[in-house]
């Protein structure tokens, strides 16, 4: 149970999940495509008025990012649950919550990071200025890990439950509200010229809070799901 063996275990999980994602690149690409499509639908629905698009841009981008994260949640534990690797993960001599952080990190790299990297392009579609694009990337960089953290609680709770896809949305979306408010607020704030720092630091606070609390809840939910 030394520290090095803990890193070995967490690193092992991250390496394995990234390797699996490399083998199935289409899975990771799907949530990105989803994001692009959803975001592109809005101008078609609302109309091409640049002023309107600029106003709704931050909210639309953030809601779409949130939904893309939600869609990818089903993948976090389901395969592990079905093939038995989750049992193995629960039965290792390291604290489960720490391993969960590894799982979440890998999940974020696969499904959250592409969203962050793609967001400036999508922001251009909505006529966001250079500075606002920077804030958008920054807010997503701070916010999407929180979304992954919170989302895995829901993913663990609904493991193997019938109708889990819809249920996880119902459980997780209310928990996403603060992140959405601060994230979209940061971009709106920078556009309105009142600065994004306060919102960004609140996003950071959310990340820290979720980093401390969510893994324990997820670990508890996983143990319950495996009983």
The residue ranges that bind another protein (CB under 8 A) are: 1, 5-6, 8-9, 11-13, 15-16, 19-20, 23-24, 79, 82-85, 87-95, 153, 157-158, 161-164, 167, 170-171, 173-175, 177-178, 181-182, 185, 188-189, 194, 202, 206, 209, 213, 217, 220-221, 224-227
- Contact assessment for residue 186 and residue 194, using Cβ atoms and an 8 Å cutoff: no
- Looking at residue 194, the DSSP 8-state letter turns out to be S
User: Least distance from C-beta 152 to another protein, angstroms?
Assistant: 11
User: Least distance from C-beta 81 to another protein, angstroms?
Assistant: 9
Question: Considering beta carbons, is residue 109 or 175 the nearer one to another protein?
Answer: 175
Question: Considering beta carbons, is residue 13 or 110 the nearer one to another protein?
Answer: 13
Task: Please report which helix (H) or strand (E) contains residue 158, including its range.
Answer: none
What does the alpha-carbon distance between residue 168 and residue 166 come to, in Å, rounded to a whole number? 5
Which residues contact residue 176 at a Cβ distance below 8 angstroms, ignoring those fewer than 6 apart? Answer: 66, 70, 147, 150, 151
Question: Considering beta carbons, is residue 73 or 89 the nearer one to another protein?
Answer: 89
Question: Considering beta carbons, is residue 36 or 97 the nearer one to another protein?
Answer: 97
Q: Which residues of 48-76 are buried (b: 16+ CB within 10 A; e: fewer)?
A: eeeeebbbebbbbbbbbbbbbbbbbbbbb
User: Least distance from C-beta 104 to another protein, angstroms?
Assistant: 15
User: Least distance from C-beta 97 to another protein, angstroms?
Assistant: 11
Neighbours of 179 (CB within 10 A): 27
Question: Considering beta carbons, is residue 41 or 170 the nearer one to another protein?
Answer: 170
User: Least distance from C-beta 96 to another protein, angstroms?
Assistant: 9
Q: What is the dihedral of CA 133, 138, 143, 148, to 10 degrees?
A: 100
Question: Considering beta carbons, is residue 45 or 174 the nearer one to another protein?
Answer: 174
User: Least distance from C-beta 33 to another protein, angstroms?
Assistant: 21
Query: Torsion-angle region of residue 128: left (phi > 0), alpha (psi -120 to 50) or beta?
Result: beta
What does the alpha-carbon distance between residue 111 and residue 149 come to, in Å, rounded to a whole number? 12
User: CA 120 from chain center: how many Å?
Assistant: 17
């Amino acid at each position: 149970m030394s520290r090095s063996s803990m890193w070995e275990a967490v690193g092992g999980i991250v390496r394995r999940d990234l390797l699996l994602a490399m083998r199935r690149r289409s899975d990771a690409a799907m949530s990105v495509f989803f994001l692009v499509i959803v975001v592109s639908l809005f101008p078609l629905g609302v109309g091409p008025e640049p002023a309107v698009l600029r106003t709704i841009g931050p909210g639309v981008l953030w809601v779409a990012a949130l939904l893309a994260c939600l869609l990818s949640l089903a993948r976090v534990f389901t395969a592990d649950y079905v093939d038995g690797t989750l049992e193995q993960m629960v039965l290792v001599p390291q604290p489960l919550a720490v391993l969960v952080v590894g799982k979440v990190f890998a999940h974020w790299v696969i499904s959250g990071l592409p969203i962050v990297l793609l967001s400036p392009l999508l922001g251009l579609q909505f006529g966001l200025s250079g500075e606002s694009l920077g804030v958008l990337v920054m807010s997503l960089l701070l916010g999407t890990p929180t979304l992954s953290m919170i989302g895995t609680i829901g993913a663990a709770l609904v493991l193997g439950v019938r109708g889990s896809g819809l249920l996880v949305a119902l459980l997780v979306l209310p928990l996403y509200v603060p992140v959405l408010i601060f994230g979209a607020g940061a971009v709106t704030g920078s556009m309105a010229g009142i600065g994004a720092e306060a919102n960004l630091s609140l996003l950071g606070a959310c990340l820290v809070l979720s980093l401390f609390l969510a893994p324990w809840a997820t670990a508890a939910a996983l143990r319950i799901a495996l009983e």
